[in-house]
Every structure is written in C-alpha cells, then in structure tokens.
Amino acid sequence: MASTLKINTLTGVSTAGSIAVTGEGNSTTTNLQQGLAKARCLFDQTAPEIDDSFNTASLTDTAKGKGIINFTNNMSGALTYSCTMGAVNGNDDHPYCSALTANRAFVTQTTSAFPFRSGYSGHNAASSSGDYADFFDPNGALVVAHGDLA
C-alpha cells in the first residue's frame, strides 16, 4: 500500500542540518544536504539575460564568451564548491562547443561568484593570458553549483 508524507520541514535528530538518506541496495547512506544543488542559472548570454535561476542574484557579461554568475547566498569557501556548465550556440557551422569554467591560472571563483567561459572545442589553445580566439556567447547555457553554503 502506498502512502503519502506531507511535511514542511525536515530536521535531523542528532544534527539539525544533517539528514542521512539510505541509498539503493540499503548498503550506503548519503547526506541529503550535500547532494542538493545550491545554485543554478539558465541563461542566454546573447541578450544577456537569466531565463530561470535558483540562488542567482545576477549575470555579468564581461566579454564575448565570458561572464560571471553572481550568487544570492554565498558559498562557504571559494575553492570548496564545484560548478557544472553546459552551453549551446545554435550555430550548425560550429556544433562542437565547450563550456569552460573557472581556471585558477586565468580566472578565480569566489564565494559570491562563479566566472565562466564558453568556446569551441578543438580550436585554438589558450594563450598565456588564458584567452581563446574562438569564444562565443551561448544562446542557451546552464550552470549548476554544488557544495556548502556559508
């Protein structure tokens, strides 16, 4: 018999902000808070505008194919979270694109912002300044952040 649980708040017993969830096969547990995305931003950099978001304050367009996602609530540490990015450019002449994320040698992510770069894969390698000749403004991109909030 199926049942429905309706609640507004989940709180751990031993630690209020920590709830263990039993995984498939009943052999492992996962901390629920650690597994949740802490921010996401779906955007069109050609406009530039945010189409949909969670914990995203704004999008800063810094140059062609380069920008910054600014968080509403900061992450706990600049190097203790990770972001995944996917991008499309809607151009059949160059269907192979790469979403390039923060690279410590050229740009630095902070607790309040995540810089990104979008360029075509298999084209010019990065110069000493970290620039690619083939950056593009994606007309559809999604960045998702995982880690701890401050």
This prediction has a pTM of 0.78
Burial class (CB in 10 A: 0-12, 13-18, 19+), 112: middle
Contact assessment for residue 66 and residue 138, using Cβ atoms and an 8 Å cutoff: no
Quote the CA–CA distance of 7 and 2 in Å, as a whole number.
17
Write out pLDDT tens, residues 54-103. Answer: 999 999 999 988 899 999 999 999 988 988 888 876 655 555 566 666 55
Write out pLDDT tens, residues 90-141. Answer: 655 555 566 666 555 566 889 999 998 887 765 555 555 555 457 888 888 8
Quick one: which of 79, 81, 86, 80 has its CA closest to 100? 86
